[in-house]
């Protein structure tokens, strides 16, 4: 009973924080302190791979990078939507170096195969943006026997990043940017039920747990690969197609208080492009261009190093299961 009361209190504190910081007005307040020159850059000749880039935050990120001359590799699930978004980005940016790739991040072997092929066709990768994600509200199992949210948000992100690290390390000052969520602040890392096979299935909380896992991954990678700059962020509460579909009640209640896609993408673009990041420590969690805490005060969401290591070991083992011998 006490734990339930504490969780309810933590969620309430988080929601009040969200109304103040994660909304459109929260962004406008934070943006008044931004340095506009941070994104006055030309990244011609640099390559960027952005997952989930046919709509929402990913699409806006791809557009902003293309406007600054970057070569953009869009990784999307649906060919028709990917090509439509690609055409629009090329038209608006006047940059022809925008390419669409089709990949479902819930399919581990396909990720390994994609990365092997991508490495054959490209000699380096400057920035990887892990933006794609899903929130399935009913427990769904993939053909590989994986819970869909975990397969996409956590294992998919893990495999894609690990498989592309050799290519990233061939670049000058490579970066990996992962789009997490402030919802992870109400979750403590849970390594006992990664597939969410037990208890009541709550898609929102499963998604938040996946996003906590992404924060742990980022911290781990930053220690393991000092030559690559890793960062993870909360984009705020953004009016995207994914939010409208997965969280219709929340979308309806928040209405015009939700951020625009451009506002949601701002820190993603800043982390991917700004020279300021060259002097920022790796492995940190950002919100509106600032490092913020990964835990709420008195929320009891800190995890042990033992549990964090167990997560990494589990992901490494699962990733290996689906890795083709020739990869």
- Whether 155 and 318 have beta carbons less than 8 Å apart is answered as yes
Q: How many other C-beta atoms are found inside a 10 Å radius of the C-beta of residue 35?
A: 11
Distances (CA, A) of 222 to 76, 133, 169, 185, 279: 26, 21, 13, 20, 14
CA distance 83 to 89: 10
Question: Does 207 participate in catalysis according to the annotation?
Answer: yes
Angle subtended by helix axes 108-121 and 305-322, to nearest 10? 80
Terminal alpha carbon distance of the chain: 50
Catalytic residue chosen out of the listed positions 27, 207, 221, 322: 207
Catalytic residue numbers read: 207
């Amino acid at each position: 009973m006490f734990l339930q009361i504490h969780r309810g209190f933590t969620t309430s504190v988080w929601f009040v924080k969200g109304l103040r910081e994660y909304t459109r007005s929260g962004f406008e307040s934070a943006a008044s302190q931004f340095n506009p020159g941070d994104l006055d850059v030309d990244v011609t000749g640099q390559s960027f791979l952005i997952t989930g880039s046919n709509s929402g935050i990913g699409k806006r990120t791809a557009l902003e990078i293309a406007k600054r001359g970057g070569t953009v590799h869009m990784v999307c699930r649906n060919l028709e939507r990917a090509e439509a978004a690609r055409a629009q980005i090329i038209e608006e940016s006047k940059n022809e170096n925008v390419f669409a790739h089709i990949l479902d991040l819930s399919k581990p072997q396909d990720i390994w195969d994609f990365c092997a092929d991508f490495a054959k066709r490209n000699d380096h990768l400057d920035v990887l943006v892990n933006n794609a994600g899903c929130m399935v509200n009913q427990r769904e199992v993939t053909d590989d026997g994986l819970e869909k949210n975990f397969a996409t948000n956590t294992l998919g992100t893990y495999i894609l990043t690990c498989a592309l690290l050799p290519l990233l390390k061939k670049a000058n000052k490579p970066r990996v940017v992962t789009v997490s969520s402030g919802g992870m602040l109400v979750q403590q890392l849970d390594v006992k039920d990664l597939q969410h096979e037990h208890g009541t299935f709550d898609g929102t909380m499963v998604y938040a747990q996946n996003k906590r896992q992404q924060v742990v991954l980022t911290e781990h990678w930053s220690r393991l690969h000092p030559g690559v700059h890793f960062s993870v962020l909360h984009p705020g509460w953004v009016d995207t197609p994914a939010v409208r579909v997965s969280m219709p009640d929340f979308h309806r209640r928040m209405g015009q208080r939700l951020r625009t896609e451009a506002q949601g993408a701002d820190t993603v673009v800043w982390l991917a492009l700004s020279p300021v990041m060259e002097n920022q420590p790796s492995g940190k969690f950002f919100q509106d261009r600032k490092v913020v805490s990964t835990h709420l005060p008195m929320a009891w969401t800190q995890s042990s190093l033992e549990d964090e290591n167990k997560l990494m070991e589990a992901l490494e083992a699962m990733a290996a299961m689906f890795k083709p011998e020739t990869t």
